[in-house]
Chains A and B, each alone.
Chain A
Amino acid sequence: MALLKGTLDVLVLKALSWGPMHGFEITSWLEERSGGRIDVVDAALLQALHRMEERGLVVAAWGVTKNARRARYYQLTKSGRATLRAESAALVDHVAALTTILTARTAES
Chain B
Amino acid sequence: MSRIRPGVLRIFRLPLRTVDHARDDADAELDTFLQERIDDLVRRGLSPEAAREQALARLGGSSGDARSALRRSAERRERHKRFREVVDELKEDVRFAWRQGMKAPAFTVVAVLTLALSIGANTAIFSVVHRLLLAPLPYPNGDRIVMPMQDGDPPLRLAAAPALVHEWRARTHTLSALAGASEFLFSVRPDGTVDTLPAAAITANFLPTLGVRPSVGRGFLSEEERADGQYAVALISHALWQRAYGGGTDVLGKTVTFEGRPLVIVGVTPPSLSIPLWRTPAPDLWLPATLEQASTGGSGALDPGPSVFALLGRGRSAESATAELQAIAASELDSVPREERVNGSAPVRVMRAQDLLSARERRVVQVLFAAVGALLLIACANLANLLLARAWARQREFAVRGALGAGRARIARQVLTESVSVALTGGLLGVGVAWLALRVIVALRPPTLDQLADVRLDHAVLLWCLGLSIVTGVLFGSAPALFAGAQSAGDVLRRESRWGSHGRTSGRVRSGLIVLEIAVSLVLLLGSGLLVRSFSELQRIRLGFEPRGLVYTDVLLGGGPFRDRRIAMRDAIVERLRALPGVTGVAVGVMPSKGYFSMGGLDAETDSAGHTTRIPTLGTVFITPDYFRVARIALVDGRLPDSSVAWPGGGPLGMSPEVLVNRELARRVWRRGRAIGARLREAPDGFPAGRAPTRWSTVVGVVDDVRMPDVRGDRAALQVYSLIPPRLGDVPFLVRTSMSADAAAPLVKHAIASAHPALFVRPTLSGDTYLRNGLAPTRFAMTLISAFAALALLLATIGLYSVIAYGVRQRTREIGVRVALGADPSAVLRLVIMGGVRLAGAGLVIGLGIALTAMRVIESMLYGVSSADPRTFGAGMLFVAAIALVASYVPARRALRIDPAESLRTE
Binding site for B on A (CB under 8 A): 19-20, 22-24, 28, 41-44, 46-47, 50-51, 53-54, 56, 59-67, 69-73, 75-78
Q: Are B59 and A41 in contact, with the CB atoms below 8 A?
A: yes
**Whose C-beta in chain B lies nearest to the C-beta of A20?**
B3
Contact of A43 (CB < 8 Å), options: B2, B14, B35, B70: B70
Q: Are A72 and B4 in contact, with the CB atoms below 8 A?
A: no
Q: Are A65 and B36 in contact, with the CB atoms below 8 A?
A: yes
Q: Are B77 and A42 in contact, with the CB atoms below 8 A?
A: no
Proximity string of chain B (16-60) to chain A, C-beta cutoff 8 Å, 1 when within and 0 when not: 000000000110111011011101100000000000000000111
Interface centre among B4, B28, B73, B84 (most CB of A within 10 A): B73
Q: Are A75 and B35 in contact, with the CB atoms below 8 A?
A: no
Contact of B6 (CB < 8 Å), options: A64, A65, A72, A75: A75
Question: 5 tightest CB-CB pairs across the interface, nearest first?
Answer: A63-B2, A41-B60, A43-B66, A24-B36, A50-B73
Known contacts A69-B35, A70-B32: A63-B1 contact under CB 8 Å: yes
Cα distance, A44 to B33, chains bound together (Å) = 13
Known contacts A23-B33, A67-B35, A73-B1: A43-B76 contact under CB 8 Å: no
Binding site for A on B (CB under 8 A): 1-4, 6, 9, 13-14, 25-26, 28-30, 32-33, 35-37, 39-40, 58-61, 65-66, 69-70, 73-74, 76-77, 80-81, 84
Q: Are B32 and A65 in contact, with the CB atoms below 8 A?
A: yes
CB distance from A6 to the nearest CB of B (A): 17
Contact of B70 (CB < 8 Å), options: A50, A69, A70: A50
**Whose C-beta in chain B lies nearest to the C-beta of A60?**
B14
Cα distance, A41 to B39, chains bound together (Å) = 18
Q: Are A46 and B58 in contact, with the CB atoms below 8 A?
A: no
Known contacts A47-B69, A50-B74, A50-B76: A69-B36 contact under CB 8 Å: yes
Cα distance, A68 to B130, chains bound together (Å) = 69
Cα distance, A20 to B4, chains bound together (Å) = 9
Known contacts A50-B70, A51-B73, A61-B9: A42-B3 contact under CB 8 Å: no
Q: Are B40 and A69 in contact, with the CB atoms below 8 A?
A: no
CB distance from B69 to the nearest CB of A (A): 6
Q: Are A59 and B73 in contact, with the CB atoms below 8 A?
A: no
B4: chain A residues at CB < 8 Å are 20, 61, 75
**Whose C-beta in chain A lies nearest to the C-beta of B6?**
A75
11 pairs, CB–CB < 8 Å, chain A vs chain B: A20-B2, A41-B58, A43-B65, A44-B60, A46-B30, A46-B33, A47-B73, A50-B76, A51-B77, A67-B39, A69-B36
B59: chain A residues at CB < 8 Å are 41-43
Known contacts A24-B40, A54-B77: A43-B69 contact under CB 8 Å: yes
A50: chain B residues at CB < 8 Å are 26, 70, 73-74, 76-77
Known contacts A43-B59, A54-B81: A65-B1 contact under CB 8 Å: yes
CB distance from A29 to the nearest CB of B (A): 12
Known: A67-B36, A70-B28. 15 other contacts (CB 8 A): A22-B33, A23-B33, A24-B37, A41-B60, A42-B58, A42-B59, A42-B60, A42-B66, A43-B59, A47-B73, A50-B74, A61-B2, A72-B32, A75-B9, A76-B6
**Whose C-beta in chain A lies nearest to the C-beta of B63?**
A43
Cα distance, A28 to B58, chains bound together (Å) = 13
Q: Are B69 and A64 in contact, with the CB atoms below 8 A?
A: no
